A and B are shown apart, each in its own frame.
Chain A
């Protein structure tokens, strides 16, 4: 029977199925190269589908594979193109892979970049709204929100830019650290208050009181796992932020010292992980180390690329659902604003809240016109000024609510 003309013999079938398996395996490789996370189980299911008659109908097979191999919207959107290219030989517009290629170009010389971006007018956009750092303190052109207030030297209200006096700076640093501490204390108190309301663990109570004839003499409370808020700070250390960087560095140091779970990153034209450097107990030494890491920045701000690096390499480790990401930046993006929007959206899906602190926001007449901030704002939960200790303190209740 097996020798009937057209019906394939056992060996032929075997060869066909091997060919199909090899083809499916190659397709899986293609998908993995394109960033799909496809495991062995999916491979087996794909083989099941091929043998269940899907192979004969390309459209049906494409739909079936799409459901099987996609795991997120991004996969869903690019699947059809990849399928058509692989199985039907259609041309698809190639999309450049991220990371890697562009990174090398960014890193070599920050100083060089700074000069280049200055030449290209990269800081031109900045100059539209931000007065230069030198004349800012005395400019008196009405740009500070506190300009009209009497000079009571109420430190809480003084714009960080105007803190020229070393003593005042020291005081500001102390206050920032205290604020970080206050935020943490507030959280802990809240945790305790919540804990008082915990329910009885009736299962354990009953187990324990069986010997008392069921009279619940000894009560067991349900223990809840303590889940601290994690604060992830991304600080813009670029040139346009230079007036504020030192105070915020001190603030970050306070945050890392006081929060049980906190991580910090600096970015300018690239992203740097600074938590370890900041975990130095000696504030002076920590700041020195940080200043070195922040140095040389000032040539443009690639927020989008920095966030891309963050999302790609750090987010999975440092972010969980109880994370609040705090971005301290003026939002002047010299890179691709659309990329910034995309990366913010991706970041927003991962974490609980995004707080964007913008020191420029308190300036009179400031509107978020920069391309970067415009692209980012739809994905921000709280957009607040952070130019004085007062404005930082105003954040406390918000952070305590997280």
Chain B
């Protein structure tokens, strides 16, 4: 097992600045072979964790985006019906055609089946699990505990490798205790100024340390305002890229541009109206 410092460094090398807690969680994932459940507000970088993890392990990222009504055939496997029909037509009258068309050759892998059938363990990202139905959650529980799949026509397909599973949830629906208990839990919060500065530096080409620090401080101030939609890290990065693109090196030099470019951070009409030029000025005042 890699130590958490090594993991934090490896994540940083792949562009994800993790805090010590998250590095511990990832080292535990490997030690205990449990899925990692990441919960937190939208935009705090939950999905990015899985992407970075795939880079660290130099392996494939298989993503299952959950939505209401997601069922087994979209998540697990499906038969290739067109090819099956063609094969049946071509071998009309053959007795063994039924066995043939329900063989691996005609099986279409969907993310979950793909994840357990890869020769090298991939990272399986089950994104926004809270959007899926209760039934799907229960089904997932079975898959995640046994890592094998039953296909009526083929029998049981065991896992070749056990994937590194990351689940994310925005907390829009309460997940079942059974699922929570199977997972390691990590709450992803908005980053502090220091971490956000490092994230900007790592991700935005051309951002200077002093500008990155100013941006991180101002975003921290904005998050404390009463907003309907608090800006996440992706928004911060957009804004930083916009400022760098406009050749701004110090926020105090161009308060008007700063205010105008806040559209990168504020995504609702009310929030835009709430952060007036005066508010921007006040926030800028706190940014040393």
> Which A residues fall within an 8 A CB radius of B?
37, 39, 41-42, 45, 48-49, 52, 60, 63-64, 66-68, 70-73, 75-76, 202-203, 206-207, 209-210, 213-216, 225, 320-321, 349-350
Contacts and interface: CB of A to CB of B under 8 A. Distances in A.
Given A67-B186, A214-B85, A72 B39 contact: yes
22 contacts: A37-B181, A39-B181, A42-B181, A52-B31, A63-B24, A68-B32, A70-B185, A70-B187, A71-B180, A71-B181, A72-B180, A206-B81, A206-B85, A210-B88, A210-B98, A213-B89, A213-B93, A214-B84, A214-B89, A321-B173, A349-B173, A350-B174
Main secondary structure of the interface of A (DSSP, over half): helix
A33 B203 CA distance: 44
Given A213-B89, A216-B85, A67 B101 contact: no
B98 A71 contact: no
Contacts of B32: 45, 48-49, 68
B185 A64 contact: no
Contact of B184 (A68, A209, A349, A350): A68
Contacts of B271: none
A202 B187 contact: no
A349 B174 contact: yes
A67 B35 CA distance: 11
B224 interface: no
A41 B35 CA distance: 14
Nearest to A53: B1
A41 B181 contact: yes
Contacts of B21: 63, 66-67
B262 to A, nearest CB: 23
A321 B134 contact: yes
Contacts of A210: 88, 97-98, 101
Contacts of A52: 1, 31
Interface string B171-202: 11110010011011111000000000000000
A71 B88 CA distance: 50
Contacts of B173: 321, 349-350
Contacts of B185: 67, 70-72, 75-76
Nearest to B106: A206
Contacts of B267: none
A75 B32 CA distance: 20
Contacts of B101: 206, 210
Interface of B: 1, 4, 20-21, 24-25, 28, 31-32, 34, 36, 39, 79, 81, 84-85, 87-89, 92-93, 97-98, 101, 133-135, 171-174, 177, 180-181, 183-187
Contacts of B177: 37, 71
Contacts of A49: 28, 31-32
Best-surrounded residue of B1, B36, B172, B173 (most CB of chain A within 10 A): B173
Contacts of A64: 24, 28
Contact of B88 (A67, A214, A320): A214
Given A206-B79, A213-B93, A67 B28 contact: yes
B172 to A, nearest CB: 7
Contacts of A349: 171-174
B44 to A, nearest CB: 13
A214 B98 CA distance: 10
Nearest to B98: A210
Given A41-B181, A72-B39, 5 more contacts: A37-B180, A60-B4, A67-B186, A70-B185, A76-B185
Contact of A321 (B24, B133, B187): B133
Contacts of B34: 45
B214 to A, nearest CB: 30
Nearest to A200: B81
Considering residues B133, B171, B184, which has the most beta carbons from chain A within 10 angstroms of its beta carbon? B184
A206 B84 contact: yes
A213 to B, nearest CB: 4
A337 to B, nearest CB: 17
A37 B177 CA distance: 8
A73 B24 contact: no
A349 B181 CA distance: 18
Contacts of B79: 202-203, 206
B187 A76 contact: yes
B25 A67 contact: yes
A48 B32 CA distance: 8
Contacts of A63: 20-21, 24-25
B209 to A, nearest CB: 29
A67 B27 CA distance: 11
Contacts of B187: 70, 73, 76
A209 B89 CA distance: 11
A48 B31 contact: yes
Interface centre among B21, B28, B79 (most CB of A within 10 A): B28
